[in-house]
Structure 1
């Protein structure tokens, strides 16, 4: 059975997204290495910065690690000054982990570096390609937010 145009396009889109993701990882690799943060701490910091406070249990689930390991990673980030642990005002038994100003600035700086590279890449495209990409990625993002249903 021969491949349809749509199947070919979908395969190319997946390849393209993978290639862009690989290039974005390369962009941040040197910056990440300069930080001297172990990968587990960096992943936890980015996860914590992406929300409005995480419990140790929630962070452990998100990272796919046990609660003791998550607690240890959080403790290391607290010592570095990147996150703080505080009692949840709504439930004093629950501890909420949030980024400090230093932690937020670090994550923001890493993200900004990625954005700058994307803007540079977009600058090399013509207007029609930028318009088509904006339309297509907007639709893909909406499908992702809807769980695949438009």
Structure 2
């Protein structure tokens, strides 16, 4: 019989998320409303998704997602085309302009992180790198 996940594990996870948000994420301006920025993040590593797929991933209603997508299309950050397999559906893809915006924002995150990482010793930075790599692997495994 598998051991149950302790409340302290989930509590630590939540505390890490809040810590990152308060000390890192909140300090960096997001160039778009969060719901629009989230759509770009979801689309970044895909060949395109339907509005329904995106709305499920971000837990936003399909009706609200349609408005968000329309704003992103108008701004030139995404495009929507009929699905070649099912022309009743639309496929949303990120544009070059959208990718550029995300890349610039991620570069700001990276620079901010590196700046703060200088407060750690070389050994501490190496330890953090190992921990983050493992954290990434385990979170991916949890949600696979």
Q: TM-score, normalised by structure 2?
A: 0.78
1:41 partner SS: helix
Give, in whole Å, the separation in 2 of the partners of 1:65 and 1:11.
Answer: 25
Q: Which protein is richer in strand relative to its size?
A: 1
> Which residue is 1:24 aligned to?
24
2:125 corresponds to 1:130? yes
Give, in whole Å, the separation in 2 of the partners of 1:132 and 1:42.
Answer: 31
What is the CA distance between 1:24 and its match in structure 2?
2.1
For structure 2, list consecutive stretches of 5 or more residues without a partner in the other structure.
1-7
For structure 1, list consecutive stretches of 5 or more residues without a partner in the other structure.
1-7
| Aligned-pair Cα RMSD in Å | 2.7
1:65 partner SS: coil
> Which residue is 1:112 aligned to?
107
Q: Which protein is richer in helix relative to its size?
A: 1
Q: Count residues in correspondence.
A: 137
> Which residue is 2:4 aligned to?
none
Alignment of 1:1-150 (within 5 A): 15=15, 18-29=18-29, 32=30, 35=31, 37-147=32-142
Deviations 1:5-55 (A, max 9, x none): xxx9x97786455323322223322xx3xx4x4333233233233433110
What is the CA distance between 1:56 and its match in structure 2?
0.6
Q: TM-score, normalised by structure 1?
A: 0.76
Name which one, 1 or 2, has greater alpha-carbon Rg. Answer: 1
Task: Say if 1:27 and 1:114, in contact at 8 Å, map to a contact too.
Answer: no
